[in-house]
Amino acid sequence: MTADVAVLGAGMHPWGKWGRGFVEYGVQAARAALADAEVDWPEIGSIVGADTVRGGYPGYVAGATFAKALGWQGAKVTSVYAACASGAQAIDTARAQILAGMADVVLVVGADAAPKGFFRPVGGDRQDDPDWLRFRVLGATNPAYFGLYARRRMAVHGDTLEDFAQVKVKNAAVGALNPNARYRKRVTAEEVAASAVVCDPLRLLDICATSDGGAALVLSSMEFARRRGVADPVRIRAVSTVTPRYPHTVLDLPDIATDSAAGAEPAGEPFRASIARAAYEEAGIGPEDLSLAEVYDLSTALELQWYEDLGLCGGGEAAKLLREGATSPGGRIPVNMSGGLASFGEAVPAQAIAQVCEVTRQLRGQAGDRQVVGARVALTANQGLFGHGSAVVAVR
Amino acid sequence: MVAGWFTGEGDGFRLLGTRCAACRSVFFPREDTYCRNPGCSGGDLEEVPLSRRGRVWSYTDSRYRPPSPYVTDPELPWEPYALIAVELESERIVVLGQAVPGITVADLTVGMEVEVVPGVLDEDTGTTWTTWWWRPAGVAR
């Protein structure tokens, strides 16, 4: 049995602040993916929705919500929630069904309609919820954690504000070429430096926005793809959904404290690195095999952290890798050629799916002005609140 | 604010965690149900005061008003506060907290020693919600 599943179709609703409901974004993305796959909706044997907590019950049961909007047709239905890793878990669920022979062709959809400003926990007085507590007790927003990571990199590795700004400059330049991106304007280092500090040392242009958007994939068995005359599809070879290992010693969203290392020695491999390693091991590849990577740049500084966690360079060498141009278009390992979250903003359940949409286009050679020449192997990486790993390896 | 997270006053103020009697893992916020170390057979969880002093792991601040459930008066101008993540040596844990008012990021460096002191999260006419604050060691309040 092959461990590959085929990516027959990829579709997105452009990111922005459109002021409409998440269902509309998801359905448009789904229809685009179905058209791209040349598969009719009634042929889909299973639909997996990545949930959004902002849509009330319809958001919590996204699979059925999208299925109803597309027209009930009797498919298997699943809804998954793993915060920012929801999309990866939806892909993993679809893939497991295909590899187990439970479905031939599966539609995966994620969409969100995010409010303006800081993300906040859902309402109520919930003292047993770590996400609620970090806001109530500390006022610790998501950018506060990004600020902590950024300051730590400056202190430990000597990263500078200019290094962080260059990540934004790089991502905005490619995002300007992406019709699905929300921000399509080049940005200069001076503009980053002139933007307001949100959480020291990070400025507004170092931090991703919150957006509306949708993304969808049509995944199938390799046999289904062959029957459709698609001999050489983009293939998903690995999906990593791992948790951290105790003790998790890096302060992470939404925690108020780390695990203690007093009772057990840390593994020596931080959580984000373990997400990537699980994907590499499952795919039987290493970082040296990558043609490109899409990483979760919630902040500019966090993109640099991912370079090290993905093994693109050694510890503390990310800023050097950036300065050398290795992660820019034409470099040894281009990162975030979609424009990244810097250009999209967060549409939580859609983003991990959108990363796979981007690498699908890249591996097909359909990325236009953003194309990484000769792309054969791509990794996407992401991390969900509460310890959800998220990485996908796609190959051609 | 949250029951059982800290105790005492003045120099006697301490964060309260729990410690597994079997593996010595420390938990903050307190874990009263199970030891979360997967390699531990599971011991009794005992309340334990955490070290009063630690070293700054990292820090940041909040230049914009956080959303609810953080409680602030929208009628008043926003006063940014610093957040400090502090590494406690003997517990081998990093604990996040607000800095005492008046301490800004300009006063902080990674690695500097800080100590825990009692603080006020919010107050209205009837209630004062207490909390913990970090302040550079040896600085008078």
Residue B41 C-alpha from the chain's centroid: 29
Of A125, A148, A260, the CB nearest to B60: A148
Q: Are A14 and A36 in contact (CB under 8 A)?
A: no
In this structure, what token pair is assigned to residue B16? 């309260």
Q: What is the mean pLDDT of residues A180-202?
A: 98
The total number of residues shown for chain A amounts to 396
Q: Give residue A70's pLDDT band: very low, low, confident or very high (50, 70, 90).
A: very high
In whole angstroms, give the CA distance from residue B86 to residue A77.
45
Give the closest residue to A291 by CA, choosing from A165, A396, A174.
A396
Of B36, B72, B95, the CB nearest to A246: B36
In whole angstroms, give the CA distance from residue A5 to residue A3.
7
N- to C-terminal Cα separation, chain A: 18
Q: What is the mean pLDDT of residues B69-82?
A: 94
The answer, for B110 touching chain A at a CB cutoff of 8 Å, is yes
User: Which amino acid type is present at position A173?
Assistant: A
Nearest chain B residue to A203 by CA: give it.
B63
Query: CB distance A121–B69 less than 8 Å?
Result: yes
Point out which residues pair with A377 in neighbouring strands.
A395
pLDDT value of residue A232: 96
- Residue B77 to chain A, least CA–CA distance (Å): 16
Q: Give residue A1's pLDDT band: very low, low, confident or very high (50, 70, 90).
A: very low
pLDDT value of residue B128: 85
In whole angstroms, give the CA distance from residue A267 to residue A242.
14
Which strand ranges, in their side-by-side order, compose the sheet holding A212-220?
Answer: A76-80, A46-50, A105-113, A212-220, A5-16, A234-240, A388-395, A377-384, A292-295
Point out which residues pair with A49 in neighbouring strands.
A79, A109
In this structure, what token pair is assigned to residue A219? 């995944």
Q: Residue A101: which H helix or E strand, with range?
A: none
Residue B80 C-alpha from the chain's centroid: 18
pLDDT digits (tens, 9 = 90+) for B11-25: 999 999 999 999 999
pLDDT value of residue B140: 63
pLDDT(A346) > 50: yes
Query: CB distance A199–B63 less than 8 Å?
Result: yes
Q: What is the mean pLDDT of residues A212-223?
A: 98
pLDDT digits (tens, 9 = 90+) for A151-164: 999 999 999 999 99
User: Which amino acid type is present at position A46?
Assistant: S
pLDDT value of residue B141: 53
In whole angstroms, give the CA distance from residue B2 to residue B15.
12
Nearest chain B residue to A127 by CA: give it.
B2
Query: CB distance A141–B40 less than 8 Å?
Result: no
Parallel, antiparallel or unpaired: strands B93-99 and B128-136: parallel
User: Which amino acid type is present at position A16?
Assistant: G
pLDDT(A77) > 70: yes
Q: What is the mean pLDDT of residues A346-371?
A: 98
pLDDT(A116) > 60: yes
Of A139, A152, A258, the CB nearest to B110: A152
CB contacts < 8 A (A, B): 147
Query: CB distance B24–A137 less than 8 Å?
Result: no
Parallel, antiparallel or unpaired: strands B53-61 and B93-99: unpaired
